[in-house]
Amino acid sequence: MSNFNDQFIFSIIIISLGYLLKRCNIIKESDGEAISRIVFNLTLPCLIIISFHNIKIDFSLIFMMISGFVYGVFLAFLGFLAFKKERRKVKGMMMMIVPGFNIGLFAYPLVEGIWGQEGIKYFGMFDMGNAFIVFGLTYLIGSFYSSDQNTFEYKQVFVKMSRSIPLLTYLFTCAISIIGLQLPTVVLDVAGGISKANMPLSLVLLGIFLNFSIDKSYFKKIIKYLTLRYVVGLSIGLFVFFFLPFDNMFRYTILLALILPMSFSALVYAVQFNYDKKLIGTVSNLTILISFVLLWGIGNLFL
């Protein structure tokens, strides 16, 4: 428990530092885009390599990946039901941000500090399933409802997936582990050194993007979204934790993963499909704050 609380205090300090640097105009929010590219395309893939290069795939890990995908599809269906009466573009925007989780930036720094590589393996397998939702399903939803034409851009989905370095790294490292190959020591040494920067950079980035302003006109949509996301996530997570016969790490992963913040990629899609960037940005910030509080509270109750 001491390690858990120490990690949260450590995380809060670094996130606050990032926010303070932005407020003092030492770092601009636009600088966060460059940092995010470094995290997603360099430090996070290196962390994945270190955590997955010798992984032994068992049923629980495979089921964790399937869970990440199936739960994302389930959330998308609930999003359709919840926002089906909204006008087309609003419905598409809200449906797009319901499924998908911010695991790489938000969860990994905390998980790495609390459980180390064992935790990264479980959350990483959940994130692999989540990646197909984030780069596939949510992109399709955003594209489909962004115009009056009922068309899907299937080609663009495959292009998005083929350019996702974290997803490709997951698949590559799992594949070589399954067939029994070993990465060269120099690759592991370099990846290990770079991966150490993932935690502080990710937390600083969260602070840079943190914003506390809320437009009152968004209130009803935001409340419906947050209720759907967190009530469903908490209910299923607690059910799995208390009633299903999985090992502890599996149950902890499901309990915490289902209450993680909105996927960061939704902000990118908002720009691409001309959705309301301010609304999506507000929701993103709220989910970061709520998830942080919930994770701390659940951690102190159950870990």
Task: Report in angstroms the alpha-carbon separations of 120 from 50, 108, 126, 149.
Answer: 10, 7, 10, 41
Among 98-102, 177-181, 196-200, 281-285, the minimum mean pLDDT is found in 177-181
Residue 48 above 70 pLDDT?
Answer: yes
Mean pLDDT (the chain, rounded): 87
**What backbone torsions phi and psi does residue 262 show, to the nearest 5 degrees?**
-60, 145
Residue 292 above 60 pLDDT?
Answer: yes
Average pLDDT of the residues in 245-260: 93
pLDDT at 150: 62
Give the pTM: 0.85
Contact (CB, 8 A) for 73 and 93: no
Contact (CB, 8 A) for 136 and 179: no
pLDDT at 143: 84
Retrieve residue 148's tokens: 């009056």
- For the chain, the domains span 2-302
Task: Report in angstroms the alpha-carbon separations of 181 from 48, 78, 173.
Answer: 16, 42, 10
pLDDT at 284: 86
Residue with tokens 């990264």: 120
Question: Distance (Å, rounded) from C-alpha 104 to C-alpha 260?
Answer: 11
Retrieve residue 198's tokens: 């993932």
Average pLDDT of the residues in 13-19: 90
Spatial CB neighbours of 224, under 8 Å, sequence gap ≥ 6: 82, 83
Average pLDDT of the residues in 176-189: 87
Residue 28 above 90 pLDDT?
Answer: no
Residue 83 above 80 pLDDT?
Answer: yes
Residue 25 above 70 pLDDT?
Answer: yes
Average pLDDT of the residues in 199-206: 86
Contact (CB, 8 A) for 200 and 43: no
pLDDT at 231: 96
Assigned CATH topology for domain 2-302: Na+/H+ antiporter like fold (1.20.1530)
DSSP SS3 for 262: strand
Question: Distance (Å, rounded) from C-alpha 126 to C-alpha 63?
Answer: 9
Residue with tokens 């992984």: 55
pLDDT at 2: 57
Residue with tokens 């989910």: 287
* CA dihedral of 200, 210, 42, 98, whole degrees rounded to 10: 130
Taking residue 34's Cβ as centre, other Cβ atoms within 10 Å add up to 10
Which has the higher per-residue pLDDT, 276 or 20? 20
Residue 137 above 90 pLDDT?
Answer: no
